[in-house]
Every structure is written in C-alpha cells, then in structure tokens.
Amino acid sequence: MGGRACFVVPSGVIDLVVSDYRLAIRRMTECLRPGGWLLDEDADWGTCAPVDPTRPLYDGYQRGWRYGDWWTVRGYDKTFGRRLPALFERCGLQDIRHEAATEAVRGGSDWARWWAVTLEVMNEQGGADESDRREVQVMAAALADPTVWFLRELLHACWGRRPA
C-alpha cells in the first residue's frame, strides 16, 4: 500500500464520526493498490419530487421541498453525486466512468413510504420547528397518494482506476 496504512475499525468503538466526502474519496484512493479501482455511488436528492404539476398535491410538495433546498438547509449536499467524476479526477484516478439513473414511482409505493419516513427523520434531526413539521406533513400527504407520480433521486455510480 505504498507505506500508507488503511484501517478497518471494529463496530461500536467510535464516539463521533465527522464525514468530509472529499477527504473520504481521497483517503479511499490512497488505500487502493496501483491499478486498483474505486467505485462510489451517491445521489442527487433535488430530483425527488412530483412530476406532474397539474396534480393537486404538486404545489404543496414543491413549496416544502423547494427543489431540494429543503435538504440543503439541513446540511446535506443535494448534488454530490453529479460531482463524483471531477472529484475522482482531482484524486488522481484514471479511466473514470460515470452513469446515473432514476425512475418514476407512484405515491404509496415502497420508495414513497421510505422517502416520507426519511424526510421525517431528517427533519427531526435538523432541529425541526412547527413550520418544518407542516412542510413534511404536506410532502408526506403527496407521497401517500397513489395518483401522484414522483421522480426518485438520481443515483450516480462512478468508478476510476488508480494509476499502475
């Protein structure tokens, strides 16, 4: 490993972990053997919204979601996935490839139920006030309605090779 150590930490021994995704990608790159590959997947969460503005619940969801800025003000990067190729390149990886995919799903689907719970948890962890709770309730109502179609997060997969 070129004189640098990569560590595997046993479960349940760390009190606090602070993540810097740029540093994490750089560190993972350093852990690769020459010729080794790094694969990372992340998402653009700003895309998680109803697709049909004629639906009655569309406007309420978008007012709360604010095209993903709901996510951003809670400390998350809604567009990290799309920047993976540039980050891989800055870390010295080569033969970089990047693909992204999403799908449209109905309200009430497994994904929509999961997303509604995720929004509630994220909201509470972000120190929600009454206005925030109302926004989540409005979004959850749209997510529960099977007549509303949603575009899911845009999932990015990026891979690159450490030079030999």
Per the CB < 8 A criterion, the answer to whether 107 and 73 are in contact is: no
Q: Which domains does the chain have, with CATH numbers?
A: 21-161 (3.40.50.150)
- Give CA–CA dist 6/24, Å, rounded: 12
Across-strand partners of 37?
161
- Using only the alpha carbons of the chain, give its radius of gyration: 19
Residue 40, pLDDT score: 93
Higher pLDDT pick, 69 / 33: 33
- Give CA–CA dist 41/80, Å, rounded: 10
Tokens of 93: 């990886």
Residue 50, pLDDT score: 94
- The mean per-residue pLDDT over the stretch 121-134 comes to 78
Tokens of 57: 């619940």
Q: What is the dihedral of CA 151, 21, 99, 89, to 10 degrees?
A: 150
Condensed to tens digits (0 to 9), the pLDDT of residues 36-79 reads: 999 999 988 888 899 999 988 999 999 888 887 887 777 778 88
Q: What is the DSSP string of the chain?
A: -TT-----PPTT--S-----HHHHHHHHHHHSPTT-EEEEEEEEGGG-EES-TTSTTHHHHHHHHGGGHHHHTTT--TTGGGGHHHHHHHTT-EEEEEEEE--EEETTSHHHHHHHHHHHHHHHHTT--HHHHHHHHHHHHHHH-TT-EEE--EEEEEEEE---
Residue 104, pLDDT score: 97
- Give CA–CA dist 140/160, Å, rounded: 38
Average pLDDT, the chain: 87
Higher pLDDT pick, 18 / 57: 57
- The mean per-residue pLDDT over the stretch 13-39 comes to 85
